[in-house]
A = this chain, B = another copy of it.
Amino acid sequence: MISVEEALARILAHITPLAPVRVPLSEADGLVLAEDVISVENIPPFANSAMDGFALRSQDSQADNGQPARLQVIGSIPAGYVAEHAIEPGTAMRIMTGAPVPAGADAVIQVELTHSEGRESAWVEILQEVAPGNNIRPAGDDIQQGQKVLTQGTEIRGWEIGLLATLGYATVPVIRRPRVAILGTGDEIIDVDEALQPGKIRNSNSYLLEAAIRHAGGEPHRLGVARDTVESLREKFSAALSHDLIITSGGVSVGDFDLVKDIMREQGQVDFWRINMRPGKPVAFGQIGGVPLLGLPGNPVSSAVTFQLFGCPVIRKLLGHTRLVKPQVEVVVEDGVQDRVMRRHYVRAHVAWNGTAFIAQTTGPQGSHIMTSLLNANALLIVPEGGVEIHPGERTQAMMLDWPEVNL
């Protein structure tokens, strides 16, 4: 048996990020930037007002013998428009937030610190002295022309999209989203809308994996369920070859009908391991026709947990991410973990911060067929190899499933 870490390292060694493409800005969300973004403009592109008020020469704002300065209002500058003439000594212009500061002005005074006869007033009294630069956002105050703003490898989310829009990126160079084929296997599997028959269970793994792949950033494609025959598997696999990654569930154990690895041997290459973990023991990895294939176990919980440990990092590496795995924190296990398991034990648990520590509570029986204990779990407690018992109140590491990924 090999360790989880060794299995993951072996798998990732075979995965390289997909090719860069340009996508419309609206579709870049969640993808990874394939090039550095260097601004060809100053942002803001021009000095503009931070307030609704009056643009003026700061030296004209000084009171004279206790009398507020009174300036002639020679125009009005809405946002989006440029003043037609400059500010001369003794004059001011009404100016809106975001409007370009007119030539000659070196300050803006906000409307609340002025007195006038309203919108059409021909004059304005300046009730407070202002310093040069007051309420002016200089050109380039946020971004200088030539500045590197975003680095290749950055994940694009809402805020990055806002910035890319500001810089004029109608399309964005990104690593494309991997197309992931999902293939169930097993004569016992019927589809979700079928009535149960003796010996049969419904296909839950394909639907669970579909959602999990989408969360990881992949584009999932359910290809149905292969029967436990070489012919059925060959047919399904041939449909899977147009994808960037194939994920199977079931068929990778040592039983007579565990044929997935046989097809991999026939049509590609297979690494097959027993991994020193529970749930999830047998995992196959390799390729078919050059397409990487990750074979997960068939038990629903084993499939869910091994996808989290191995499938997510693979999809994220294909997407160009460098942060591939969920972070770990030390937690206090309030109810303890009594099952002593020789393999490393990933225990479904709910972890909450209580103000001084992360407190974990396990979510119920941990058998690999007990799906209900996935519900409400936001973490996997990591109980070390070797039959370790965690007494109530003792500490262990937990993998935080709702937190953003970190570097391996």
Do A207 and B165 touch across chains, with their CB atoms under 8 A apart?
A: yes
Query: Smallest CB–CB gap between A193 and chain B, Å?
Result: 4
Do A25 and B137 touch across chains, with their CB atoms under 8 A apart?
A: no
Do A199 and B26 touch across chains, with their CB atoms under 8 A apart?
A: no
**Count of chain copies:** 2
* Complex CA–CA separation, A299 to B162 (angstroms): 11
Do B329 and A353 touch across chains, with their CB atoms under 8 A apart?
A: yes
| A216 and chain B: residue at smallest CB distance | B158
A residues 165-219 with Cβ under 8 Å of B?
165-170, 186-189, 192-196, 198-212, 214-215
Indicate if A117 sits at the interface (CB-CB under 8 A): no
Q: Which residues of B contact A209 (CB under 8 A)?
A: 158
Closest 4 CB pairs of A and B: A162-B208, A80-B188, A80-B187, A158-B211
| A112 and chain B: residue at smallest CB distance | B254
* Complex CA–CA separation, A186 to B209 (angstroms): 45
Q: Which residues of B contact A205 (CB under 8 A)?
A: 162
Do B29 and A211 touch across chains, with their CB atoms under 8 A apart?
A: yes
Q: Which residues of B contact A210 (CB under 8 A)?
A: 26, 161
* Complex CA–CA separation, A65 to B81 (angstroms): 102
Q: CB-CB contacts of A61-102 with B at 8 A, as 1s and 0s?
A: 000000000000000001111100000000000001111100
Q: List 12 A-B contacts (CB under 8 A).
A: A25-B192, A45-B201, A52-B253, A98-B201, A98-B298, A99-B188, A142-B369, A142-B371, A160-B375, A161-B208, A167-B202, A330-B355
* Complex CA–CA separation, A119 to B254 (angstroms): 12
Residues of A at the B interface (CB closer than 8 Å) are: 25-26, 29, 41, 43-46, 50, 52, 78-82, 96-100, 111, 119, 137, 141-143, 149-150, 157-170, 186-189, 192-196, 198-212, 214-215, 222, 228, 253-257, 298-300, 304, 327, 329-330, 353, 355, 367, 369-372, 374-375, 377-378, 402-404
Query: Smallest CB–CB gap between A214 and chain B, Å?
Result: 7
Do A192 and B170 touch across chains, with their CB atoms under 8 A apart?
A: yes
Q: Which residues of B contact A149 (CB under 8 A)?
A: 372, 375
Do A166 and B202 touch across chains, with their CB atoms under 8 A apart?
A: yes
Do B168 and A193 touch across chains, with their CB atoms under 8 A apart?
A: yes
Do B97 and A298 touch across chains, with their CB atoms under 8 A apart?
A: yes
Do B168 and A372 touch across chains, with their CB atoms under 8 A apart?
A: no
Do A157 and B215 touch across chains, with their CB atoms under 8 A apart?
A: yes
Q: Which residues of B contact A374 (CB under 8 A)?
A: 159, 162-163
* Complex CA–CA separation, A186 to B61 (angstroms): 30
Q: Specify which of B100, B166, B369 is in contact with A199 (CB 8 Å cutoff).
A: B100
